C-alpha cells in the first residue's frame, strides 16, 4: 500500500495528474471501522490535453511503462488494484481541493474529508452508498456545519434528509 | 413477556459493547485498518472466487507502517506477486 501511494505521488510530481486523494471504501475506512473492499479508489484531477479532453490514457501509459498491468477497471500498482476516478463534477473537484493531508507510514498522501465522502455517497446514491453514509454518521468525526454547507452547495439536501431521517 | 424484560438489560449491554468495539476500530491507525481490510479480503476471496467473481488480495510487503507481511499459503488463494 505504501509503495502504491509512492507511485501515485510520483505520477503527481511528473504532472500526469494534478492532484489525487483516496476516496471510496478505503477513504471511509480512514475515518470509521475497516470496510471490506478489493480496490483502492483514487480520485484525480487530470491535466487538460491539447484538444481539451480529460483522459486517463497518459496515466495508464506511464504505469504500463513501469510494468504495472491493467485488471479490469483497475491498474495493479504494487499489489493493490487502483481505480482512477477523474473529478468530473463540482463536488468531486471541491472534495479533491479540500482533501485532508495525512501520511501512511513514511509517505505523505491525501484522503477526502469525511464530509465530502458522505456527500459523494449521497450523490452516487447506491445502496452501498447509503450504508456508507450510515457508517460515517455513526463513527466519523463529521463537522455538521461544514457538511450542511457542502450538501447545500451541491443540491444534495433533499436526499440527505431522506436517507438520514 | 417477563423473560423478554429480563433479556433487555443483557441485549442493551451487548449493543453497547458492539458500539464500543466499532469506536475502537474506527480509532485505529490507518495502516492497521488497512491490515484488517486485507485480512477481510483473505476471508472473503475464496467465497467470491467460488462464485466465479475475481478477487485479488492486496500485497502489503514494503510498508514502513509496521504492517506484517502477508503469510504465504493457507489464505485461500492469496495473490502474492
* ipTM given for this complex: 0.89
**Residue A51 neighbours by CB under 8 Å, 6+ apart:** none
Q: Identify which of A47, A133, A81 has the alpha carbon closest to the alpha carbon of residue B58.
A: A81
Residue A108, Cβ neighbours under 10 Å: how many?
Answer: 11
Residue A140: closest CA among chain B residues belongs to which residue? B26
pLDDT above 70: residue B66:
no
Contact B56 A71 (CB under 8 A): yes
Cα separation values, B58 from B42, B46, B50, Å: 9, 14, 18
pLDDT tens-digit profile of B9-46? Answer: 888 888 889 888 988 999 999 999 999 999 999 999 99
B37 closest CB neighbour out of A36, A102, A104? A36
Print the SS3 string covering chain B.
Answer: CHHHHHHHHHHHHHHHHHHHHHHHHHCCCHHHHHHHHHHHHHHHHHHHHHCCCCCCCCCCCCCCCCCCCCCCCCCCCCCCC
Contact A139 B36 (CB under 8 A): no
pLDDT tens-digit profile of A87-139? Answer: 999 999 999 999 999 999 999 999 999 999 999 999 999 999 999 999 999 99
CB A86 within 8 A of CB A56: yes
The confidence score (pLDDT) of residue B65 equals 59
Query: Which residues partner with A109 through β-bridges?
Result: A102
Which range has the worst mean pLDDT, A16-25, A51-60, B64-73?
A: B64-73
Predicted confidence band of residue A84 (pLDDT cuts 50, 70, 90): very high
Contact A35 B37 (CB under 8 A): yes
The confidence score (pLDDT) of residue A49 equals 76
- Domain around A54: 2-164
Cell output for B5? 424484560
Across A9-38, average pLDDT:
96
pLDDT above 80: residue A19:
yes
pLDDT tens-digit profile of B43-61? Answer: 999 999 999 998 889 988 6
pTM: 0.86
Residue B43: closest CA among chain A residues belongs to which residue? A36
Residue A109: closest CA among chain B residues belongs to which residue? B30
The confidence score (pLDDT) of residue A4 equals 96
CB A138 within 8 A of CB A123: no
Number of domains comprising chain A: 1
CB A28 within 8 A of CB A135: yes
Q: Give the residue carrying C-alpha cell 443540491.
A: A155
CATH code assigned at A31: 3.30.460
Amino acid at each position: 500500500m505504501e509503495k502504491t501511494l509512492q507511485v501515485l505521488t510520483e505520477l503527481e510530481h511528473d504532472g500526469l495528474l494534478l492532484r489525487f486523494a483516496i476516496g471510496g471504501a478505503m477513504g471511509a475506512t480512514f475515518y470509521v471501522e475497516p470496510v471490506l473492499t478489493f480496490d483502492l479508489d483514487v480520485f484525480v484531477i487530470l491535466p487538460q490535453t491539447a484538444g481539451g479532453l480529460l483522459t486517463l490514457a497518459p496515466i495508464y501509459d506511464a504505469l504500463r511503462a513501469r510494468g504495472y498491468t491493467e485488471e479490469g477497471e483497475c491498474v495493479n500498482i504494487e499489489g493493490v488494484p487502483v481505480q482512477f476516478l477523474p473529478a468530473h463534477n463540482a463536488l468531486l473537484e471541491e472534495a479533491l481541493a479540500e482533501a485532508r493531508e495525512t501520511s501512511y507510514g513514511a509517505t505523505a498522501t491525501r484522503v477526502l474529508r469525511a464530509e465530502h465522502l458522505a456527500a459523494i455517497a449521497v450523490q452516487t446514491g447506491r445502496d452501498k452508498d447509503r450504508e456508507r453514509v450510515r457508517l460515517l454518521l455513526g463513527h466519523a468525526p463529521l463537522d455538521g456545519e461544514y457538511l450542511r454547507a457542502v450538501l447545500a452547495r451541491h443540491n444534495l439536501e433533499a436526499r440527505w434528509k431522506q436517507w438520514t431521517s | 413477556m417477563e423473560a423478554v424484560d429480563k433479556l433487555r438489560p443483557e441485549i442493551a449491554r451487548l449493543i453497547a459493547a458492539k458500539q464500543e468495539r466499532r469506536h475502537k476500530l474506527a480509532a485505529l491507525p490507518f495502516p492497521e485498518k488497512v491490515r484488517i481490510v486485507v485480512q477481510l479480503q483473505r476471508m472473503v476471496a475464496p467465497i467470491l472466487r467460488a462464485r466465479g467473481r475475481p478477487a485479488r488480495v492486496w500485497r502489503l510487503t514494503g510498508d514502513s507502517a509496521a504492517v506484517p507481511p502477508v503469510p504465504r499459503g493457507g489464505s485461500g488463494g492469496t495473490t502474492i506477486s
